[in-house]
Amino acid sequence: MFNIHRARRIIQTLAIASAVIAAPLLIIASNPTAARATSVGVPPCQGSNLAGAFVANQVGTGHVVTTIAITNVGRQVCTLGGYPTLIGLRGSEKYKLRVTGHGTYGGNLHPTKLSPRMSGVLIVSTGDLCGPTYGVIPPSQMYTGLIVVLPKSEGSVQVLGVPFDTTCGVYVSQLGWRSHFWIQGV
């Protein structure tokens, strides 16, 4: 018999394990000399060379800020940047999400160069206290994962175990990094 509490605990454990693995890589990316992209001669990252992992949801003042680590698993340095398109996952179904705006309640990021095994980030911000449902999330607005479609047709990255809802809109940061950024909620 399916146990929802056990399934949630497994997802939380996997998310924390992913964050623990990704956290040292994110610290490397925070090096100011490495973090700002000088894209001259550095190709954009391709989806086939990236892996994504849910890090955490941070909740406050009616906003949910979701942090997703994007790691270069390829063999070459690449530039991670630009605003992605998002596809929500609900079971085996995929839904293209309407992005309400660029920049998030959790801030925005700058394009960055990713060496192999280095991570960048995507921030997705949603609200949870808007009308007409005001705090009651319709099932048609809840998702358990997403596909991050990279700008300029550079591929996509699937990230499972990302709980979020789109009731009050979806705001996305650029893919990348910024000075003084830290992973919240870990």
Each residue of 135-155: pLDDT tens digit? 556 666 778 899 999 998 899
Does 58 fall in a domain? yes
Does 87 fall in a domain? yes
pTM > 0.75: no
Does 186 fall in a domain? no
Q: Domain of 109?
A: 4-172
C-beta separation of 128 from 59 below 8 A: yes
Token pair recorded at residue 60: 């406050």
43: CB partners within 8 A, 6+ apart:
76, 78, 79
Does 183 fall in a domain? no
CA-wise closest residue to 29 among 121, 107, 149, 157 = 121
Rounded CA-CA distance 115/157 in Å is: 17
Residue 13 CA neighbour count, 13 Å, CB half: 6
Give residue 156's identity as a one-letter amino acid code: S
CA-wise closest residue to 123 among 51, 181, 78 = 181
pLDDT score for 33: 39
**Pairing of the two strands 85-90 and 93-96:** antiparallel
CA-wise closest residue to 177 among 135, 132, 93, 115 = 115
Rounded CA-CA distance 84/152 in Å is: 9
Rounded CA-CA distance 129/135 in Å is: 5
Q: How many domains in the chain? A: 1
Each residue of 42-61: pLDDT tens digit? 999 999 999 999 998 877 76
Does 48 fall in a domain? yes
Token pair recorded at residue 36: 């700002």
Does 184 fall in a domain? no
For the chain, which residues score pLDDT lower than 50?
5, 13-17, 19-37, 184-186
pLDDT score for 136: 59
Does 177 fall in a domain? no
Indicate the average pLDDT of the chain: 77
Does 148 fall in a domain? yes
